[in-house]
Amino acid sequence: MKLLLVEDSERLRSTLQHGLVAAGFVVDAAADGVMAKGFLDTYEYDLVTLDLMLPRMDGMAVLRGLARLRTRPRVLVLSARDQVSDRIEALNAGADDYLVKPFSFDELVARLRALARRPEEAHMPILECGPLRIDTRSQSAFVADEPLSLTPREFALLGLLMRHRGRVFSRHDILERLAGSDSTASEGSVEVLVFGLRRKLSDAGLEDIVKTRRGAGYLIP
């Protein structure tokens, strides 16, 4: 899951980014509202953690601006504002959840994972394509009930293509979804990733599930 972390405290931002990456998220970090808007205008995110008291553009303005995006991420507000009126204002402006500082990091991760299941996975925790099945809750894959061993990035790619069956993802699209904006990975690494996933699927008896649209990208029909 790709996440944008918006937090003006350098110390907290660094701590959260390190912890969220360790928890399996792909994380970009913004120190103020204008920087956050720039990220959101450029990249697609599944999740946003958003402080409200930000320099240059406050969190409420960032939150209200999400309505213009083609793909709207789920938003968890992280704020020291603990009044009920603050929570109501943020939720009415489009926030999906609200967590008051200080907070438990484990609770933050649990809430983010719960939010990540809402958009496309809440009603489809199990995704299937013929004998291929993935369980998005346990991050596991099976072919005809036999476990399929995938790396975290291979699973993320397979899940992306299965959640959006019929949609073509270019190498650039895949790189944006599976790597942070500061990643040194190249589009060539996507070819390697697709090759490795296809080889494992082929070894499990599944040929040609991941299709190539020449000059466009990859998809699962």
CA distance to 2, 26, 71, 118, 183, per residue, from 19 (Å): 14, 11, 26, 22, 17
* Nearest to 24, CA basis, from 133, 127, 136, 99: 136
CA distance 135 to 141: 6
What's the confidence (pLDDT) of residue 93? 83
pLDDT at position 6: 97
Sign for the CA dihedral angle at 128, 173, 175, 170 comes to: positive
Identify the structural domains of the chain with CATH numbers, from first to last: 1-116 (3.40.50.2300), 124-217 (1.10.10.10)
Q: Regarding beta strands 126-129 and 132-135, do their DSSP bridges make them parallel or antiparallel, or are they unpaired?
A: antiparallel
User: In sequence order, what DSSP letters do the residues of 1-26 get, joined into one string?
Assistant: -EEEEE-S-HHHHHHHHHHHHHTT-E
The amino acid that residue 66 corresponds to is L
d(CA 96, CA 87): 10
pLDDT at 200: 96
Secondary structure class of 55 (helix, strand, coil): coil
What kind and span of H or E run contains 68? none
Q: pTM higher than 0.75, yes or no?
A: no
For the chain, 221 residues long, give each residue's pLDDT as a single digit of tens: 899 999 999 999 999 999 999 998 999 999 999 999 999 999 889 999 999 999 999 999 999 888 777 778 899 999 998 888 888 888 888 888 999 999 999 999 999 988 887 655 444 568 889 999 998 767 889 999 899 999 988 998 998 899 888 889 999 888 878 876 656 677 888 999 999 999 999 999 998 899 999 989 999 99
